[in-house]
Amino acid sequence: MKVLVTGITGFIGSAVANAMSREGWTVIGQSHHTDDNQFPTTKLSITSQTDWSTLLAGVDLVVHCAAYSPRKGQHTNFAKYNETNTKGTMTLAQQAASIGVKRFIFISSVKVNGETSPNHVPFNQESVASPEDDYGVSKLQAEQELLKLHHATSMDVSIIRPPLVYGPGVSSNFTMMLKLVHKQAPLPFGALSNQRSLVFIDNLVDLIITLCSHPSAAGQTFFVSDDHDVSTTELFRTIGIAMNRKARLLPVPSSLLVGCCQLVGRYNIINKLLRSLQVDIESTKTILGWRPPVTFEEGIAITVQDYLARVKE
């Protein structure tokens, strides 16, 4: 089987490509840069005008991992999200369908459902999509158009909405948590009862591999996680245990933390660390007969060991 992985040099895309190569499949990729990549990779932008015909020749399966998400502090507008995440996705998918690609797997986001899941009620397949930012809106619109394409053509489409993905090489906010615990910085997160779903990169990739051939995957949207939701307090403590360092967590009431964040305008911290964001994967397990192969504790331990190895370099 020949597979095209978009965003192949990224955190998720590279993990997908490596796993598919181990399956014995022929893997090619798309990226904005092609340096230091073991797979044949074409430098190509994802836009409504992109010609994918050469890259799609002979491809059986597309795993679309790439997306536009601006870096912290970078100002943008909905037009950019729409051009890449919606229109660019559909240009790729339409050309894939016309050339005879059998299956298209779209890595969407839980942000399609919203930023928080109130009252500890996880999002599931019946939850109403309610994106709160341009990124989530652009992903939802892509999902909707892809499902129309699925019904109108012979190409099967499957969609995954992952929550926070972590693992070796993870960057951004998760790396900051690792750094804070490693430095044993005092943290005001010792009294939180929120619940967060996370997914270890190997679990996400295992689900993607399952979707490549499962007969019940076509036309479906799946949630994924480690099947072990944790509070922010428990997350920091688990990282500390894996590092053999005690996380210095101060028992500051959640209401006080929320008030302080609101006072200084740090609403992103409220959503990402203080409130709940859960997904229900029972439907995923039932439809596919799938279970995450790596436990939450194992995933954290592997991630921590990779981080510590890089810190020593």
Catalytic residues: 135
Tokens representing 252 are: 């500051």
Strands (E), the chain: 2-6, 26-31, 41-43, 61-64, 103-107, 156-161, 164-166, 198-200, 220-223
In angstroms and rounded to an integer, the radius of gyration of the C-alpha atoms of the chain is 20
What contacts 28, CB < 8 A, 6 or more positions away?
Answer: 2, 3, 4, 5, 39, 40, 41, 42, 55, 59
Which amino acid is located at 267 in the chain? Answer: Y
232: which residues sit within 8 A by CB, 6+ positions away? 189, 192, 194, 196, 273, 274
Q: Are strands 220-223 and 198-200 parallel, antiparallel or unpaired?
A: unpaired
Whole-angstrom Cα distance, residue 201 to residue 194? 23
Of 265, 76, 298, 306, the residue nearest 182 (C-alpha):
306
| Length of the chain (residues) | 313
Return d(Cα 236, Cα 247) in angstroms, integer: 6
Residue 54, CA distances (Å) to 30, 98, 99 in order: 12, 13, 10
